[in-house]
Structure 1
Amino acid sequence: MSSLSIVLSAILVAVVSAGRLDHLTQGYGGAGAYNAPPSQYENINNGDGTYRFSYDTPSGISARESGSPRAAGPEGLAVTAEGGFSYRAPDGQQISLTYTADENGFHPVGSHIPTPPPIPEAILRSIEFNRQNPSSDNGAYNGGRNAYRY
């Protein structure tokens, strides 16, 4: 690759990166909207699959992520990433989320993420009963045994 190609590639990456940051520096609109550069910004790509980035904006948005090829995937090493972000929601709630992303998917953690309700006690008892009393017919329907007859 010629040095001119490298310089042009670097300029293209800088322009694309700057365009991608525009939405991060916007307010929620209306009178409070503003466009200001990030107060802190770091973007490091080592060229070997390892990277890290972070930024903070004057509007209170912050994010960070780092990654490296660690897990074997179908097309070679897959990048495993970990990071987090935070911001203040329009209702004033501080939203903070941390995550990992690996060969098993995206795993977010945050107090604002909805969680399912607990499993009812009767269902837990049923699951335990079924675990202790496995079916001898692999769960297949048998209309002759214990079936309601007309």
Structure 2
Amino acid sequence: MKLLHCLTLIAVIAAVLAAPQGDTEILENSVENIGIGGYSFSYKLSDGTTRTEEAVLNNAGTDKESISITGKVTWVAPDGQTYTLTFVADENGFQPEGAHIPK
């Protein structure tokens, strides 16, 4: 159940950060679906937003099966400052890191 919450949180964050703002255009887009074993994608938008994400299936077919997701999102805030968030989401939960996140 913890993994489901983690994946849901990632999906919400992705939707919020990827939402087009005004005349934002997609400059680059890459998607690789490697089937049940994982996926990867990346994109770059005209407003300076970039995102990469990769997922791999660990211990496939066992009772310890899990998915590990790593990613990075960079965006320019309304105040002009650039923010970068890196994250890991796995059996240990969602683990974000960024200079703007309190420790």
TM-score bucket (shorter structure):
0.7 to 0.9
Using the size of structure 2 for normalisation, the TM-score is: 0.73
- 1:77 is aligned to 2:71: no
Which of 92, 99, 102 is 1:104 aligned to? 92
Q: Are the counterparts in 1 of residues 24 and 47 from structure 2 also a CA contact under 8 Å?
A: no
Output the CA distance in 2 between the equivalents of 1:71 and 1:88: 38
CA drift at 1:24: 3.0
Structure with the higher helix share, 1 or 2:
1
Structure scoring higher RCO (CA < 8 A, sep ≥ 6) equals 2
Contact 1:97–1:108 (8 Å) recurs in 2: yes
1:26 corresponding residue in structure 2:
20
- Paired residues in the alignment total 88
Q: Which has the higher strand share?
A: 2
Q: CA RMSD in A?
A: 2.5
Instruction: Indicate the percent of aligned positions where both proteins have the same amino acid.
Output: 33
TM-score, normalised by the number of residues in structure 1:
0.52
Match of 1:67 among 40, 55, 58: 55
CA contact (8 A) 2:77 2:83 kept: yes
Task: State the alpha-carbon separation in 2 of the partners of residues 101 and 71 from structure 1.
Answer: 16
Q: 1:52-63 maps to which residues of 2 (within 5 A)?
A: 52-63=40-51
